[in-house]
Structure formats: structure tokens, C-alpha cells
Amino acid sequence: MSSQSTSFKSLEDLRAACLDLPAGSDAAASAVAKRQDSLTKPPGSLGRLETIAAWLGRWQGRDMPKLDAVKVFVFAGNHGVTAQGVSAYPSEVTVQMVANFAGGGAAINQLARIAGAGLDVIPLDLDRPTGDFTQVPAMDEQAFLAAVSAGYDAVTKDLDLVCFGEMGIGNTTPAAAISTALFGGGAEKWTGRGTGVDDAGLKRKLVAIEAGLKRHTDSLSDPLKIAAALGGRELAAIFGATLAARRNNVPVLLDGFVCTAAAAPLARLHPTGLAHTIAAHVSAEAGHRRLLEALGLPPLLDLGMRLGEGSGACLAVNIVRSALECHARMASFAEAGVSEK
């Protein structure tokens, strides 16, 4: 994908979009909740399935939500910080896995098919890794804006639900760096083994993150500058896609640690920046549970997954579909002739 065409011309242009977010439809959410209370079950007995239905209604603006157009977006990027030995796999695996997605051989291909979701894989300048953030910013302003815009432009108003995922060797290091910069507590709190680095590899990750934080001290007060200096193209694209989904009234299922870290700056820029998202699962990567807690996003699933690719988010589509089927097809007490309490 070309990095020449951008929707956002400056960080301030992007910041303005992040501060101007629709609130969703209270009326639709209330209508969904009212119907839930009329269905043949004790009130609240379907637990989060009921709140998921109301969440869909709020962000779609419909008292009878729909899931006709569900899509998974997987953004792929390469990272200069892999030069610091932070990954168990070489960078060429990113390109190889993108080819595997195209051939239908990855986990996400199977999960998208069974969930009735379309799959778009968007590679972002894979032949041009980001800068090594221990030495230079991962992206300058224009490269960052181009990646954000690629994600933003992918999400259209006609979608009913989207899942975001990523592919990028080494990208748990930028994710941990962004989490540390946004929420503090030191790199050890947020850094895990990613694709399976040994103790020496984990130490290299920690050293690289601390070096990046020290080098980019001047950027650490601004969530957008943090995302540019310490992130990656696929993370920036997920940020842009999350922003576009909010502005287009499309609900979002977030995947694992990298995806959540990519979206997290929006929560620091706007107090309800991630209200249109649900955390699909909590991954086995060390920092993800802490990050979800910091963002106030309770996960739907806890299956020990740590693959990325949008796999956990796509799996949760089946739960969202189940919530909608109960909402749409259950009988009310009056319709079924069942006595109420």
C-alpha cells in the first residue's frame, strides 16, 4: 500500500478528529434493553449477551441491530527494532504469513469463515521496516499519518461489526513500549515473551523498550507522538481504523495485546474513546490483562490465545451473533403466553 496519500494532513488534524466523537444512540440502547426485559427469561439472566445486544444497538443506532456485514481487517507491518534481537522469528516471516493469509492457510482464514466474516489483509510497506525506536522515531509524522489514514480509510459506514488484527514480527515490543509510555509502571509490567523468546530475548526486549522511552522522552506527554515514536505501521493503522469505526458508528471487537495497545491512545485522547469497542479476549501475553484493566475493558474470552491475526476477535463474533439471535428471535412473555414474575 502506498504511503503517499493521507486523509490526515497533520497531527493536529488527527487530534481534532479524535476529540470529535459521536456518543452513540441512547434511544436505541434503551429500546434494546427494554425488549430484553420483555423476553422469556428472568431479567439479566443472559448476562453479557444482553449488554452486547444493547452495545450493538447503541453503536449501530438501531433498536434491532444486524450483523449482515462483518469484516476482519488484518494490518501487517515490519519493525526496525527487531535489529535488537527482540523476536524469536526473522522479519521475513511477516511477508510469508501475508502470503499464507492470501492462500487461506492461516488460523484467521478458518475463524473468519466459520464466523461468517469477510477478511481483508492490508500490508503496509513491508519492504520498508519502521525505524529502530532505540535510535530514531519508528515513524516520522508523515509516515505515521499515512499508516493511520490507511486504517481509517479501510472502515466504511456500511459495515455492521469489525474485528481488527495484526501481523508483524517483533510487534509485541512496540505494544509494550506504547503501554509503558501511556500508563507507566516500567517496562517489566508490560513486557512478555511474544512469540516465545528465551530469557535473554526477554532481557533484550526490556533493554530496547527502556532505551526507546529514554530517547523519546519529549514525546511521552502526547499519545499521538507516543504512537509515532514507539509504534509501527500496523499499530497506527489499527488506531486509524478504530477511530474511523467510531466516527462511522461501527462497533469494534478488539483482538489481543498488540491490537489493544494500538487502540489505547484513543482512550487517552478522549474519555470515552474506546466505548464502541469490546475486548474480545484476554491473551496469554503478559501485559494484556493489565492493559485491559487500565482501559476498563473486561474481556469476553480467556482461552490462553496469543496468536494475533485478529483470531480472538474473530472467535468472539460467534458470541455477538448469539447475543443478537437471542435478542431478535426469543419470544416475549406476552407472545409465548408465559406468566411473568
Ramachandran region, residue 305 (left: φ > 0; alpha: ψ -120 to 50; beta: rest) = beta
Strand partners, 163: 72, 253
CA distance 5 to 98: 23
Strands 70-76 and 161-167: parallel
Question: Beta-carbon neighbour count of residue 102 at 10 Å?
Answer: 13
Q: How far apart are the first and last CA of the chain?
A: 59
Q: 120 forms bridges with which residues in the sheet?
A: 73
Strand partners, 161: 70
Instruction: Output the CA–CA distances (angstroms, integers) from residue 292 to 6, 132, 178, 279, in the order listed.
Output: 30, 27, 14, 8
Catalytic residue among 309, 325, 335, 340: 309
Report CA torsion sign: 253, 314, 244, 28: negative
309 is catalytic: yes
The residues annotated with a catalytic role in the active site are: 309
